[in-house]
Amino acid sequence: MIKTLSYRDIDIKSLKENINSTIDKVAANVLPIMEDVKTLGDGALRKYSKKFDGVDFKEGGFQVTDREIQDAYNRIDEEFMEAFRRAKKNIWEYHERDKRNSWFDCLSLGGIWGRVIRPLKRIGIYVPGGTAAYPSSVLMNGIPAIIAGVEEIVMVTPPDNKGVVPPHTLAAACELGIKEIYKIGGAQSIAALAYGTESIRPVSKITGPGNIYVTAAKKLVFGQVDIDMLAGPSEIFIIADKGADPRFVAADMLSQAEHDPDSFSVLASPCQDLADNVKREIRKQLGQLPRKDIAEESLIKNALIILTEDIAEAVLASNKFAPEHLEIMVDQPLAILNDIENAGSIFLGPYTPESVGDYFGGTNHILPTGGTAKYASPLSVGDFTKSMGVLHYSKEKLLRNAKYIEKFAVVEGLDAHARAVSIRFEGE
Apex CA 391: angle with CA 386 and CA 396, to 5°?
Answer: 180
Q: What is the DSSP letter of 348?
A: E
- The type of residue at 91 is I
CA gap 154, 79 in Å, rounded: 27
Given 235, 258, 296, 324, the catalytic residue: 324
Smallest CA-to-CA distance from 221 within 382, 377, 37 is with: 37
End-to-end CA distance of the chain: 83
**Phi then psi dihedrals of residue 219, to 5 deg:** -65, -40
Is 324 one of the catalytic residues?
yes
Instruction: Give the 3-state secondary structure of residue 294.
Output: helix
> Which one of the listed residues 95, 168, 325, 365 is annotated catalytic?
325
Tell me which residue of 386, 382, 120, 377 sits closest to 229, measured CA to CA: 377
Tally of CB atoms within 10 A around 280: 12
Structural Rg of the chain based on CA atoms: 25
Distance CA(198)–CA(275), nearest Å, equals 57
The total of other beta-carbon atoms located within 10 Å of residue 128's CB is: 17
- Is residue 62 within 8 Å of 184, Cβ to Cβ? yes
For residue 127, give the nearest of 180, 87, 91 by alpha carbon: 180
**Active-site residue, 325 included:** yes
Catalytic center residues: 324-325
